Every structure is written in C-alpha cells, then in structure tokens.
Amino acid sequence: MKTENKNDSKKENKKESQLKILKKVLPYIKPYKGYCILTIFLALISVISALYLPILTGNAVDLVKKLADKGEEIAGVWVEYTSLMFWEDFSIILITMGIVILFGALAQWSMTLCNNKIVFSVTQDVRKKAFRQIQKLPLGYLDRNSSGDLVSRMIADVDQFADGLLLGFTQLFTGIITILGTLVFMFIENATIALVVFVVTPLSLFVASFIAKKTYGMFKLQTQTRGEQTALINEMLSNQKVVQSFNREDAVIEQFDEVNERLKECSLKATFFSSLVNPSTRVVNNIVYAGVALTGGLSVISGGLTIGQLTIFLSYANQYTKPFNEISGVITELQNALACADRVFGIIEESPEVPDAADAAELKEAKGVVDLKDVSFSYVPEKKLIENLNLHVDPGRRIAIVGPTGCGKTTLINLIMRFYDVNSGEISVDGTPIKKLTRRSLRKNYGMVLQDTWLKKGTIRDNIIVGKPDATDEEMIEAAKKSHAHSFIRRLPQGYDTEIAEDGGSLSGGQKQLLCITRVMLSLPPMLILDEATSSIDTRTELKIRKAFDTMMEGRTSFVVAHRLSTIKNADVILVMKDGHVIEQGNHDTLLKQGGFYSNLYNSQFSA
C-alpha cells in the first residue's frame, strides 16, 4: 500500500510540475495572442477544406456509378444519365476541388508563418530573459553552477523547447479541430457509423496518455545528463593545456565515456517509450478503420449508404485517426519541451542579486576614504573566513595586502567591490556604507587589474576601451605606451584593429595582462585594485610597469595584492593577513624590525 501511495504521489507531483511549467510558459505566449487567434482561424479553414474534399470525392464516385448504371431512379421514374451530363457535373466537381485545395494550402502556409512567428518570438523572449537574469545573479550562483551547464540550458534546452512548442502549435490546433470537425461531419452523414468511431476514441487517448506519463521523467533525466556532458566538454576544452601537461587525457576520456554512456542509456529509454506512441495508436486507428469499413459495407448492402458515401466515411476514418498519431507525437515532444523549459526557468526564477536600495546614492568622484568595521564573511556558513576585520584607509594611500594562500586577500577585494555582501559589519566609502550606494557607481570608481585576465572576442581596440568607450585614438595609444603594450600591439598584423579570439586567443599570458593594464590606464578611476597585476610579466617589463603604476597610483587610494613581497616595499601600509584576520600592520621597514610573521614571510623568499 505504501508503494502505491508513493507512486500516486509521484504521478501527482509530475502533473503538478507540468502544469506549473505550462503556467510559466503562458505569459510569454500572451503578447502574441493575436497570432494565436489567427492560427486557430487558419487551422479551421484548413480543416474544413480537408473535410470537404472527401465529400467532393464521394460525389465524383457516385457520378461514375450513375454513368455506369446509365442513370438512376428518382421518385419512381428512371432518369437517363448521358456522358455529356457526366462531364459537365464532373468538371464542376474538379473546379470546386481545385478551389478548396488552393484555399486549404494557403491557410496551411499562412498558419505555418504564424506558428513560426509565435514560437521563435517566445523563445527569443525566454532567452533574453534568461540572459538578463544571468547578468543579475550573484557570483555565488555562478560559483555553484558550471558554465557549461548554463550554456546547455541557454542553447540546447531552449532549442528543444522551441521544437516542442512549434510542433504543438503546428499540429495540436489542427489535430483537435480535425477530430471535432470529422465527428460533426460523420454524425451529419450517418450517426450509426459516427457512433462506432466515437466509442473507440477513448482507447486511443488512453494509450497516448499512458505512454506520455512514462516519458516525461526520462526526458528530464536526458536533458540533465546532456547539460552535465556539455559542462564537462566546456571545462576540458578551456583547460586542454592543463589536461595535457598532467597527462590526464585517458582519465578525461574515461570520465567523458561514463557520462556519454549514461546519456546514451537515458536517451534510448526516452526514445524507446516515445516511439511506442505511434505504433500503439496506429493499432487503435486500424480498429476504427475496420469498424467503419464493416459498418459502412453493411449499410451499402442494405441500401442505407451509397458507394460514394462509404468512400467519404473511409476517408473520414483516416482523417479522424491521423491526428491521434500526430497529437500523441506532439505530446511526446511536449514532454521533452517541458523538461527543457523547466531547466531554463530554473535560471529565470533564481533569486537575483540583492538590488540596490531604493534610496541608494550615486558615488560621483570618490575621495578614496575606505572603512571596514567589524566585517565578517564566509562563503560557506560552517567554514569561517574573515572575522571582525577593522580597517581605515585614508585617501591617496597605497595599501598592500599580503599573506599565505587562502587567508582572505582576494575575498577582501571582492567585499570592497561588493561582488559579495558581508555577513555582518559594514564597509563604507567616503563615509557612506556601500550598501547605500549603487553598485554601478561604486564599481565605476574602481579600476581593477586581476591575475586572471579577461578579453572578449573582437579587436584590440574593443578590449582596451571597455572602461571608456568614447576614448580617442590618441588617448588609447598614450595609455598603451604607459603600460608598455604599444610596442607589441604595433607588431600585430592590423595593429589596434587586429581581431583576437575569446580570452585573447594566441596572445601570450603577459600580453593579455598588458592589455588589461592598458584598460585601467585609459580610464584611470579614483581608486585602484591590483591583484597580482604583473604575475605573468617578465621582470624587466615589470620594472618599467611598476614605474607606470607609481605614476598612476599617485593621489589615488590603491589596494595591491601581491605574493612577490619585493613589489610592495613602497606601500604606505602593509596589511598582513592570516586566517581572515589582519595580524600585523605597518610599512615595510617597521614590519621587518618587528621580526614577526611578515619578516619571516619576506625572508623566506631568499632562503635556500
């Protein structure tokens, strides 16, 4: 009994889940309700045309029969039927059939255009909403979810959703109207035969519904596994050098094969069950056709129907049962579409980053006074990182942050930039808590050069002017000269107009970092953050850039994170961090004289 209850609850949950997803899709279709109404109207014209053709065909058959019999008995009088009369009547039927076929074809073509407009507009809106949502999501969400899986949701899952939706609009409306219209026409012609068809109908619906329920869970598992595979491929392609340098090719292939095997198994199961729909409904359809043929044949023998009318009913039996095959296929595709839509809506419905306060102020030209009061933060609640951190930075001061890996240096930068919000305490700039400032204006007052470079696909120029789109060529070249990037840019095939691939393409690590430094040199905001900004640059170039940095940092509040302690000797204040706490504070000479943690850290660079 418990097992039955669990199965029943699972079925109910699936139904509720599918209904919830459908409710989420409907608001995206609502703006195109005019096209939906037009689609239904065109489907009606198309179906009426298709249903009227068998009547014309039946009339033509009866004409041939009349000609073969040389006439017919009307009101007890035998009326002769000549060849001339036959061709006159037959030509009228042919012309009528041509007009009906033309109207039906035009309606079908127009309906396809409307359906395409609805579906691709809806998927465009869904993709747009999902991508905009990604821009608003907190970094914590992006840390928890692989970029490959998000890419799979944005591209593959939306495409699958579009295919299911298109099939639904194309065949669902037409199929339902065809079934209803055929039943009406059949009841008008002969109620007995129509009743035979109507009685067998629930069997076809039951078969389609039973299989559809089984396939939804399998398609959902298929889309999840596909996302896992995409994430793995994306990760391995972007880190191929690391894979090869550690001879991990075989291990990666093994990992891929395991995911690929799981994808094959769940895809086969989903496809197998979904492919049962068509042959199963065809069996029912053949039963319907046989029932119509048998009942109609007996009616012809008894004189209740003409041969032409039997032809009409047999044609209607085919037209009536065909939509059940199509609708069952549509239901299967919709199962897949809903499973994919569920993953896409998972992004859209994710809680966005905490929005700026309604009364948030704009930080114009910051003076550079930064205060941290009793700041505590951890990425995972049970694992403490920064606790009760206090810091006061005067404007124009150069603050260096040092300490062992994992002590919280980069985390401190993330908090200052408000990429993450503190768990407790307060960070303020120029006396205003950063939670009361707009993120946009706060970040506009900082210039960042990180150890990890980011370059987008485009020209060298496009990548430099990111922070100052209206910069002139003279300003851009001057910034490049200060960062010592001008010389290598000039040697590129098209100079500043050279196209580079995503993440810099064939540029070296040092060249990428020089472009990122040039980007900050060009915009020159009031405050600077340099997180291992010269880690990929040779010592000789670093010495030159350090002079440029000294000039750039003059009068600007600057936070410098560095592992090479020789690069921060000139800092006004050095913060020594360990386990999320500032354990020492002072300039280089003061900290060396203390002979504490910093002194040991600095001298360890020169020990054997």
Residue with tokens 């094959």: 264
Total residues belonging to the chain: 608
* 483, 544 Cβ separation under 8 angstroms: no
* 377, 415 Cβ separation under 8 angstroms: yes
Question: Which residue, among 496, 542, 549, has the nearest Cα to 521 in the 3D structure?
Answer: 549
- Find out if CATH 3.40.50.300 is the number for domain 355-445+570-608: yes
Cα angle for residues 176, 178, 180 (degrees, 5° grid): 70
| Helices 33-68, 307-348: inter-axial angle, 10-degree rounding | 160
- pLDDT-based confidence at 106, cuts 50/70/90? very high
- Give the domain 17-348 fold: ABC transporter transmembrane region fold (1.20.1560)
Strand, helix or coil at 429? strand
Sheet containing 581-586: give its strands across: 446-449, 527-531, 557-561, 398-402, 573-578, 581-586
Q: What is the pLDDT of residue 4?
A: 46
CA distances from 119 to 29, 158, 166 (A): 8, 11, 6
The first and second tokens of residue 407, run together, are 């002590």
Q: Dump pLDDT digits (tens) for 298-334.
A: 777 777 777 777 777 777 777 776 776 677 667 767 7
Nearest-angstrom CA–CA distance, 486 and 517:
12
- pTM greater than the 0.75 cutoff: no
The first and second tokens of residue 276, run together, are 């049962």
Q: Dump pLDDT digits (tens) for 397-408.
A: 888 888 887 777
How do strand 424-429 and strand 432-433 relate by DSSP bridges? antiparallel
Higher-confidence position of 39 and 405: 39
> Is the pLDDT reported for residue 282 higher than 60?
yes
Nearest-angstrom CA–CA distance, 468 and 466:
6
**Which range has the top average pLDDT, 102-116, 276-290, 333-347?**
102-116
Q: For the chain, which residues make up each domain, given as ranges? A: 17-348, 355-445+570-608
Residue 392, C-beta contacts closer than 8 angstroms, at least 6 positions apart: 370, 371, 372
Question: Which residue, among 418, 431, 423, has the nearest Cα to 387 in the 3D structure?
Answer: 423
Which residues face 389 on adjacent strands?
Answer: 375
The per-type count for the chain, helices as H runs and strands as E runs, is 21, 14
DSSP run (H or E) holding 472: none
- Positive/negative CA dihedral, 550, 552, 556, 562: negative
Percent of the chain's residues with pLDDT above 90: 2
